[in-house]
Structure 1
Amino acid sequence: MRSLLQLMMIIGLIGSILITEGYAERRRNKQRRRTTTTEVAYEKDMNILGDEELNDEAAASSSEENDSVLRMDPCMDKHCGAGKICKTNGAGNAGCVCIDNCNEESDPRRKVCTNHNVTFGSDCEVYQARCFCDSGDSRCRSPEFQHVHIEYYGECRQMPSCKEEDLIDFPRRMRDWLFNIMRDLADRHELPSHYLKMQREAETNMTLRWTNSAIWKWCDLDGHPHDRTVSRHELFPIRAPLMALEHCIAPFLNNCDADNDHKITLKEWGKCLQLDEDDLDDKCDELAEAANAQ
């Protein structure tokens, strides 16, 4: 009996030891898992931080490279007109020079007819020819090409003559056309916001209907340089699309340049459209500031 009791006590002691060891082992495993998870999370965080640092370094490097390019290439901020490209001289200064070669165009629709009734292969060739003559280049074809400009796209063709009675009525038709274009652009939400006020005024005031649309188009045509005049070349957006429909557009616009200096002032533009000079207000600077503020 005593032996049996001793045996049971020994078995109980061994079981207690095993339970204690099992519990301790579970705690050690749990601690190892917690430690491993913490290490993985730490390593992941460090990788993320490392990636962010690399991205920041790459962005900084890219920014430095862009700044370096801007510093190395003076032509980045140089604007050259049509027919010209920017080149740097030996001193590293940027300047505009005439384009040496224009791409050869195979599409006959790319041909253009000039005010001298001469067909050129492309608009690039017209601007190049004008640049050669304007800069005194030996490649100038003729002194008259110093003021050559595009009349319309396509090969030159015989245009109907403009009758005197048609030319007399043309200013009225031109005023109507300018106002309708301005209104259509507003309806299609394509009119810049700084012109919308002028368009709304023109809808309710007959006098402003003509003057506002005239001022809008004159300011719109006065591109680069913004010199408060519209050159014959800057009239191209009006002349070219209307040539096939309005055979009086060319003589009408020619008459607008009253002093034949190849530039049309707002006063000349208003007189050409038979508008009262007192009703014309040069708003181009004001409109340009509004456009830049947007």
Structure 2
Amino acid sequence: MRARTQLLLVTFCVGILLVTDVSGERKKKRHRHGENAPTKTAVENDEDLSSADEESNLSVEEEYKANLQKIKEEFQYDPCMDKHCGAGRVCQPDKEGVAQCVCIETCETEPDPRRRVCINLNETWPSDCEVHQARCFCNSGDSRCKGPEYKHVHVEYYGTCRDMPECSEEDMSDFPRRMRDWLFNIMRDLADRKELPAHYLKMQRAAETNLTLRWTNAAIWKWCDLDGSPHDRTVSRHELFPIRAPLMALEHCIAPFLDSCDRDNNHKITLNEWGKCLELDEADMDDKCDQLAEIAAAGLEDE
């Protein structure tokens, strides 16, 4: 969008300059005809001026086309300007110039061991880029896919894989409550630091005075926040990374808890599944994501 606006603005400016040049050229021609030309009849003068104007118009039109072509070459519209691709993919125009999301061909070598990641198959990989790339290869039918089990590969946490303590039945039964508390406290902390977007801030304020909304609003906020690209009203296993990774060292039950949220084991968590997992009333889990996204978009346009 920005590139199109820039191109139109430059084209408009060139047009104005050319029109100004034509006007000045016409005046000069008329002035020269008045000073140097032999005395002619009014009809002859009109015919001469008309012929000169036609020649001038033709010359200006050719000059305009040439300048416009230069502008197009200099300010070439990038079809990937407004295209967003998910993790493991980059935008690349096809032969027709249409923006397409394709798998990343190569990932940069990560010399820092702290960039290593542990995946859900309990394997240590050099970087998250390679994990996203491997999933993309499998989901796009690329021959470089390592195997069907990598179609849903995702990062569990940063660092090399390590043995995690078992989550006891007692800890697991209490985990939904601790998770609800954690979500609300994160939401409140972001609001206090003025880092919570305005369309979520209203939900947070309402949750402060209503115990029911305290849990449901925090749960809806985080679910909408996690539903990234593509925005398909579900949260995939790899989209859970912002929750899973930072809590792995503190809450050893986080991995089995999040796995249990995917009740039908399709690697996607719906809002209803999310609510049941957190032991919230299904009737209170109102899908507000689209509404909140529209409010956010309207706020950006106002700015």
TM-score, normalization by structure 1: 0.76
Q: Deviations over 1:21-77 (max 9, x none)?
A: xxxxxxxxxxxxxxxxxxxxxxxxxxxxxxxxxxx76xx99995598421xx32223
1:109 offset after TM fit, Å?
0.5
Corresponding residue to 1:119 among 109, 118, 124 = 124
Match among 228, 231, 239 for residue 244 of structure 2:
239
Task: Give the match's secondary structure for 2:170.
Answer: helix
The yes-or-no answer on 1:85 pairing with 2:60 is no
Structure 1 partner of 2:133: 128
Question: Which residue in 2 is equivalent to 1:152?
Answer: 157
The residue number in structure 1 matching 2:262 is: 257
- 2:296 and 2:259 map into 1 onto residues whose CA distance is 30
**Following the alignment from structure 2 to structure 1, what is the Cα–Cα distance between the partners of residues 209 and 123?**
45
* Aligned equivalents of 2:235, 2:74: Cα separation in 1: 36
Q: Give the greater-gyration-radius structure (CA).
A: 1
**Match for residue 194 of structure 2 among 176, 189, 194:** 189
Structure 2 partner of 1:76:
81
Residue identity in the other structure for 1:69: Q
Q: Which amino acid aligns with 1:162?
A: C
1:230 CA displacement: 0.8
AA aligned opposite 2:288: K
Aligned: 1:280 with 2:285: yes
Alignment partner of 1:214 is 2:219: yes
Aligned pair partner of 1:225 in 214, 222, 230:
230
How far 1:233 moved relative to its partner? 1.2
The one-letter amino acid paired with 2:134 is A
Identical aligned pairs, as a percentage? 73
1:134 Cα deviation after fit: 1.0
1:291 and 2:299 are equivalent in the alignment:
no
Aligned residue number for residue 50 of structure 2: none
Could you tell me which amino acid in structure 1 is paired with residue 190 of structure 2?
A: L
Which amino acid counterpart does residue 179 of structure 2 have in structure 1? Answer: M
Please list the CA deviations of residues 96-146 of structure 1 after superposition, one character each: whole Å capped at 9, or x if unmatched.
221111000000000000000011100100001111111111111121000
Does the Cα contact within 8 Å between 2:85 and 2:229 map onto a contact in 1? no
Find the counterpart in structure 2 of residue 143 from structure 1: 148
After superposing the two structures, state which structure 1 stretch, 111-120 or 136-145, moved more: 136-145
Is there any run of 5+ residues in structure 2 with no aligned partner, and where?
1-12, 18-66
Out of 234-243 and 221-230, give the one that drifted further.
221-230
Equivalents in 1 of 2:242, 2:221: separation in Å?
Answer: 14
Query: SS where residue 182 of structure 1 aligns?
Result: helix
The CA distance in 1 between the partners of 2:136 and 2:206, in whole Å, is 41
Between the aligned partners of 1:66 and 1:216, the Cα distance in structure 2 is 45
The 1:278–1:154 alpha-carbon spacing in structure 2 relative to 1, beyond 3 Å, is same
Letter aligned with residue 114 of structure 1: I
**Aligned residue in 2 for 1:203:** 208
Within 2, Cα distance between the matches of 1:69 and 1:120? Answer: 39
Within 5 Å, give how 1:4-23 maps onto structure 2: none
For each residue in 1:216-254, what CA deviation from the matched residue of structure 2 results, as whole angstroms up to 9, or x when unmatched? 111111111211111111111000100111110010000
1:99 to 69, 91, 104: 104
Q: Distance in 1 between matches of 2:293 and 2:108?
A: 34
Tell me how large the CA RMSD over aligned residues is.
2.0
- Report how many residues are paired: 235
For structure 1, list consecutive stretches of 5 or more residues without a partner in the other structure. Answer: 1-55
Q: Deviations over 1:191-226 (max 9, x none)?
A: 111111111111111111001100111111111121
